Structure 1
Amino acid sequence: MGHPDLIGLGATVLIAGLLARIARRYGLPSIPCYMLVGIAFGPGTPGPELVRHPGDLAVIAALGLVLLLFHLGVEFPVDQVLGGGRRLFLAAVICIGVNVCAGLLFGLVLGWGGSEALVIAGALGISSSAIVTKLLIELHRLTNAETPVILGIVVIEDLFLALYLALLSPVLSQAGSAAGLAADVAASFGFLLLLFLVARFGARAVASLVDSREDELFAVLTIGLVVLVAGLSDRLGVSDAIGALMTGLVLSRTEIRERVVRLVLPLRDVFAAVFFVTFGLTIDVARLGAVAAPVGIAVALTLVCNLAAGVAAARLFGFNQRGAVNIGLTMLGRGEFSLILATLALAAGLDARIGPFVAIYVLVLAVVSPLLATHSRYAARLMPDWILRPGWRYVREETISTSCTHLDRIRITETDAEECPQCVAEGIDWVELRLCVTCGRVGCCDDSPRRHASAHARESGHPIIQSAEPGEDWRWCFPDETLVQAPLGGRRSATVD
């Protein structure tokens, strides 16, 4: 690579970083910025051309892809997934199934080809864990009751990605016959099984191979191992991405994991930025008009599917309208994995429209997802009660939290009372009843004339009330001003389903 290419690459990456820094101030992710700069200064766009031959960056971009998947493997929380229980797995299966099946049908309707439809299904079906995590942090929702469900689903999606790549690789290799395709699929899953066995039984031996007291040698050995396994995976027709992911999973189960995170993973951010910029450089803006309508339909389809999956998860875990909308909109963003699939498709010689389609699709959702997630309260107002279950008429717009600091004050969770004693004594009517879970006193709600439940909370200092209406199990904490629910997997009260 000559100096002009180095100058162009350096200038492009620098501009991408500056644009990403500006975007961060407004709560937008950095991945779209990298892609936009690549598109703007690539050979497919009129104007300044900083990188004339994007193919010259293929090895660096491949290294970015490998380190992205390696990072996913290192950070993969196996215990969290296994401890999520059946409801979490069911919620993830519904979310993945709805989005992937809708993406597959959409891809087939486009008529670009069967292999292309499989790529589109994966691109539309898998959320961006980076964007999802960033949203949860920036919106201060880490202690929300639905957040463990969101993170659990995203983690299971990451696991599904490995299986999907193993299935997709033989298809992209364009096996000549059904028998050849079956043999390639068997080889892919066989290699995947071998890597799982190494992760289960040989992790210590692998760790000893790369371990060194010197940080420099440790980083060199680890990168060398990751690239080697990724290359072997690609040579076997499995996909370099799978090899990198599984290598990360192996090292995540060893005592050197923290050193890997500290010394090796920072390199990921630099090379990943080059990967996204390079992807943008390959986009020909002349093709964008042909994919504009399909992108609009795909975005709308993803929005509907995500909201449907959010409702299904909310029904499983007993969340209200706000929780359902939060799940659906927070997971709306698509990013690195969609671009990885598009890159593999283009490298396999599939329809060239996949590149612009996925690029614009990711860009639109990367902007739309944070905006919609931020205003989820308004979407919750539009969701009728019957979609979830009766009983959320007064709390549908509120976030349910597991961070309430007054759960130790819960002592009484059931009552047979059918009237507000104070309203009866005063000879007035009430609307609904609320139970003080500390002392068991029943009072009328805030839609009633006297608001006896709130008055009792102020006078007694008892923090939490519970709805005493049939079929309702929500609780409200006055000091924290939030709906409260036991943490995921925690013990629920007798009145909660």
Structure 2
Amino acid sequence: MGAIVLIAGLVARLGRRYGFPTVPCYMLVGILLGPGTPGPVLIDHPEDLAILASLGLVLLLFHLGVEFPAEQVLGSGRRLFIAAGVYIGLNVTAGLALGFALGWGTSEALVTGGALGISSSAIATKLLIELRRLTNAETPIILGIIVIEDMFLAFYLALLSPVLNDSGSTADFVVDLLVSFGFLVLLFAMARFGARAIALVLNSREDELLAILMVGLVVLVAGIALEVGVSEAIGALMIGLVVSRTSLKDRVEQLVMPLRDVFAAIFFVSFGLTIDVGDLGSVALPAAVAVVITVCTNLTAGIVTARLFGFNQRAATNIGLTVLGRGEFSLILATLAIAAGLDERIGPFVALYVLVLAIAAPLLAAQSRHFARFVPDRLLRSRYRYVRAETMSTSCTHQDQMHYTETDIDVCQECVDIGSTWVQLRLCMKCGYVGCCDDSPHKHTSAHYEREHHPVIQSLEPGADWQYCYVDEILVRQPLGRASSS
């Protein structure tokens, strides 16, 4: 076990140099050095790691619950919930349809729907950092979608638990479903009213004791969840949500992160150990179809989201391709399906699907500007090249020079003086000059910038609220929640 964990760490370190996420690296090491692949085998019996892998799963979900920003989600507004609903709905529905089309059964289709429907928050967040898009205007929306996905995961696991437990009659299924959601409600109530009591149980000035008490509580709640017929993942996620409401949140988050990383790595390696490479060939075509479907649904959801928030084509493709990666949650669902004795092809299918997207997602997200060219103008009402191709950002350093946002002038005076015509009008936000756009014959607005070096212009077309900075060569949007000056 020591050897395979060490190798997994070295491979992941090598992968990080080339921009690849760590999760597929761990999984790949498990596949290559497990009993299902010809060559050296470091662990003959993957079940030997079952307890440690379960601890990794529990800590992974617990940390997610601790990090969950409930207030941010609840205060995000209706548009964000609609955008997240469209994203989740498109991907889960596509996954369900694929599962039924493959003839794997209802239980397998539900697992496939979840595996295709929930993106990897770790991969998406790392992409935003590595591609330097943290200040982009669409980035808060991406993070909001990820957070709402995490919330959706809890309810999806609750729905899936009675299915995986193979409830016999309809009455048994209903009872199991009510137990699952009742357990959720109980833990939600604990988060709302019992956080202070939990803080008293965990509170210690010594990090050593706090860590021991925390792990004991998490494993206990996860075990109780299993005893009542609910996934241990739900129990861990929800007790994390309870702890996030206490004054110990920051300390717990710091203490659990290294534990989560180590045991989560063992969980992903253990999943890889269960995969037989001989089974990958039989699921290669379904996995390829799933990848293509996911790319299409993600781009569609990105366009819908961009239209909701008034973003351009570049932002639309940024949204769709940043949340393209699948990882930990897909593997968790596959692990639960394997443990429940569902179709044995589920494991290899999800493994191959995650591996392909782990490679494809960073590459596609980095080239999102090329995909933006194929988004029809009529979908987002962005008619001009620098409007649809540039990334909207809140990082413009010239917002202090935005003095004018409105004007009564409705002509390009320089065009009038020479008897010419124009296409559209632009407003210089520093001095109030109004000139014609770059699609006009004389491009007077750009000429004004060349003379005066006033950096930011604004469109004067009805329904077009974009602003463009000549110096930074980006579209400018005020940070969310900040009103424009007038």
TM-score range, shorter chain: over 0.9
Which piece of structure 1 moves more, 208-217 or 400-409? 400-409
Q: Offset of 1:390 from its aligned partner?
A: 4.9
Aligned with residue 199 of structure 2, among 198, 204, 207: 207
- Look up the match of 2:234: 242
Deviates more, 1:393-402 or 1:53-62: 393-402
Q: How high is the TM-score relative to the length of structure 1?
A: 0.95
1:280 alignment partner, SS class: helix
Question: Which residue type is aligned with residue 132 of structure 2?
Answer: H
- Tell me the SS of whatever aligns to 2:387: coil
Secondary structure of the structure 2 residue equivalent to 1:396? helix
Query: One-letter code of the match for 2:374?
Result: L
Are the aligned partners of 2:382 and 2:388 in contact in 1 as well (CA < 8 Å)? no
Counterparts of 1:74 and 1:200, CA distance in 2: 14
The corresponding residue for 1:5 is: none
What number of residue pairs does the alignment pair up?
486
Q: 2:121 aligns with which of 119, 129, 138?
A: 129
Corresponding residue for residue 293 of structure 1: 285
Equivalent residue, structure 2, for 1:144: 136
Is residue 484 from structure 1 mapped to residue 476 from structure 2 by the alignment? yes
Q: What letter corresponds to residue 209 of structure 2 in structure 1?
A: L
Q: CA deviation at 1:464?
A: 1.0
> Could you tell me which residue of structure 2 aligns to residue 388 of structure 1?
380
Q: Partner of 2:24 in structure 1?
A: 32
* 1:47 paired residue number: 39
Deviation of 1:16 after TM superposition, in Å, equals 1.1
* 1:486 and 1:492 in contact (8 A); partners too: yes
Measured against aligned partners, the alpha-carbon deviations of 1:247-287 in whole angstroms (never above 9, x if no partner) come to: 11111111111111222221100000000000000001111
Answer yes or no: is the 8 Å Cα contact 1:467–1:475 preserved in 2: yes
Structure 1 residue ranges without an equivalent (≥5): 1-8
Contact 2:65/2:244 (<8 A) preserved: yes
* CA distance in structure 2 between the partners assigned to 1:178 and 1:471 by the alignment: 53
Q: Deviations over 1:303-362 (max 9, x none)?
A: 111111101100100000001100000010000000000000000000010000000000
RMSD value, Cα = 1.5
Partner of 1:111: 103
| Residue from 320, 331, 352 that aligns with 1:360 | 352
* TM-superposition CA deviations, 1:17-63 (whole Å, max 9, x none): 11111111111101111011000000011110011110000000000
Q: Which residue of 2 aligns with 1:284?
A: 276
Partner Cα distance (2:316, 2:57) in 1: 33
Q: Is the 8 A contact 2:120 2:325 kept in 1?
A: yes
Distance in 1, matches of 2:302 and 2:442, equals: 37
Using the TM superposition, name which of 455-464 and 254-263 deviates more. Answer: 455-464
- Give the Cα–Cα distance (whole angstroms) in 1 for the partners of residues 373 and 110 of structure 2: 36
When structure 1 is superposed on structure 2, of 79-88 and 400-409 the one drifting more is 400-409
Q: Which amino acid aligns with 1:94?
A: V
One-letter amino acid of the counterpart of residue 360, structure 2 = V
Structure 2 match to 1:260: 252
CA-CA distance at 1:478 after TM superposition: 2.1
Matches within 5 A, 1:398-409: 398-409=390-401
After TM superposition, list the pairs within 5 Å mapping 1:435-454 onto structure 2: 435-454=427-446
Identity of aligned residues (%): 68
- 1:59 aligns to what? 51
Which stretch shows the higher mean deviation, 462-471 or 18-27? 462-471
Q: How far did residue 13 of structure 1 move?
A: 1.1
Aligned equivalents of 1:243 and 1:277: distance in 2? 23
Distance 2:183 2:261 in 1: 28
Does the 8 Å CA contact 1:145/1:402 hold for their aligned counterparts?
Answer: yes
* Separation in 2, partners of 1:278, 1:70: 19
Which amino acid in structure 1 is aligned with residue 235 of structure 2? G
The aligned residue for residue 272 of structure 1 is: 264
> Could you list the per-position Cα deviations for residues 286-311 of structure 1 after superposition, in whole angstroms to 9, with x for gaps in the alignment?
11111000001000001111111101
Distance 2:347 2:43 in 1: 18
Deviates more, 1:448-457 or 1:154-163: 448-457
1:260 is paired with a residue whose SS is helix
Tell me what 2:164 maps to. 172
Aligned with 1:397 (options 380, 389, 398): 389
